[in-house]
Amino acid sequence: MDEYLPTLERLIDQFRSLPGIGRKTAQRLAFRLLEYPEEKARAFADAIIEAKTHIRECECCFNLSEEQFCRICKDPMREHEIVCVVEGVKDLMSLEKVRDYHGLYHVLHGVISPRDGVTPDMLRIDELINRVKAEDSVINEVILATNPTIEGETTSLYLSKLLKPYGVRITRLAYGIPVGGGLEYTDENTLLRALKGRTEFDLNDI
């Protein structure tokens, strides 16, 4: 058969639209899905629709949530004086696995990258500054936990300059994390050492 059925081709194209999925993998996934009983296939489709319908961004930290505020922001046992700034939700989830950090988070949803056309106004940077400078803010430390890449370091430097006038302690993760690596792929022990060994972000060192 030279061509797939139009409906099957559309299904393959949908899988191909996902990051990191080539045509052969998309074909394999599509054929595997066709083997599902109708009830299982509907459950798969319903899970996608339900996630898309109910999952939103927390209005405080921009983590994923099913309510106005995420479970971390709502937790009275968390240390609301400390905010850890991460690039994405996957980084937040990696740090949560350490179970030794009890502060809050702020998810930027990216990093500054002129090469890719990502400018500061496209990230959740203004919202971070507003959290720090709010009259009722109790934040006294901001941990810059962007990944140790050129873009991540550029973003941390930019944030540190914006945050400095507000008198909060600005720290960054210790360099136990490989340069060019990502929090998402770093083991829990390394992340724990990076958190505990965090250092002051000194603009004079730049």
CA terminus-to-terminus distance, the chain: 62
Among positive and negative, which fits the CA dihedral 162, 95, 194, 139? positive
Q: At what angle do helices 188-196 and 89-98 cross, to 10 degrees?
A: 90
Three-class SS of residue 82?
A: strand
Q: Where are the domains of the chain?
A: 6-40, 78-205
> Looking at domain 78-205, which CATH architecture does it have?
3-Layer(aba) Sandwich (3.40)
Among positive and negative, which fits the CA dihedral 187, 193, 195, 201? negative
Query: d(Cα 26, Cα 47) in Å, to the nearest integer?
Result: 19
Question: Are the C-beta atoms of residues 195 and 98 closer than 8 Å to each other?
Answer: yes
Question: Are the C-beta atoms of residues 79 and 104 closer than 8 Å to each other?
Answer: yes
Question: Are the C-beta atoms of residues 170 and 206 closer than 8 Å to each other?
Answer: no
Contacts of 2 (CB under 8 A, 6+ apart): none
* Per-residue pLDDT tens digits for 41-84: 999 999 999 999 999 999 999 999 999 999 999 999 999 999 99
How large is the average pLDDT for residues 77-94?
96
Confidence at 177, pLDDT banded by 50, 70, 90:
low
Q: What CATH number labels 6-40?
A: 1.10.8.420
Q: Is the pLDDT of residue 1 over 50?
A: no
* Model pTM score: 0.79
Question: Are the C-beta atoms of residues 145 and 84 closer than 8 Å to each other?
Answer: yes
